[in-house]
Amino acid sequence: MAQSQADNDVFDEFLNQRGYETSDAGWEENYNKKQCPDCGGLHDAEATNCTVCGWSPV
């Protein structure tokens, strides 16, 4: 059964109230480099996926 956006919003609010991050993961910034949020690997600004662990933003 597919979940509606309203169901997702309620679930996200529940998690947010308990200190969990529910936004989509993205690159972190470290000086002029991109940093992988999963493993912390540093990459050039042009990187589209992590060459250390394989993570990529969806």
Token readout for 40 is: 């912390």
Q: How many helices (H) and strands (E) does the chain have?
A: 1, 3
Residue 44 included in any domain: yes
Token readout for 18 is: 């308990």
Beta strands in 1-58 (DSSP E): 28-30, 33-35, 42-43
Global pTM reads 0.57
Domain that holds residue 31: 25-58
Q: How many domains does the chain have?
A: 1
Token readout for 52 is: 């250390």
* Residue 45: CB atoms within 10 Å: 9
- 30/56 Cα distance (integer angstroms): 17
pLDDT values of the chain reduced to their tens digit, one per residue, 58 residues:
556 777 778 877 887 788 776 666 788 888 899 999 999 999 999 999 999 999 998 7
Residue 12 included in any domain: no
Per-residue pLDDT at 24: 63
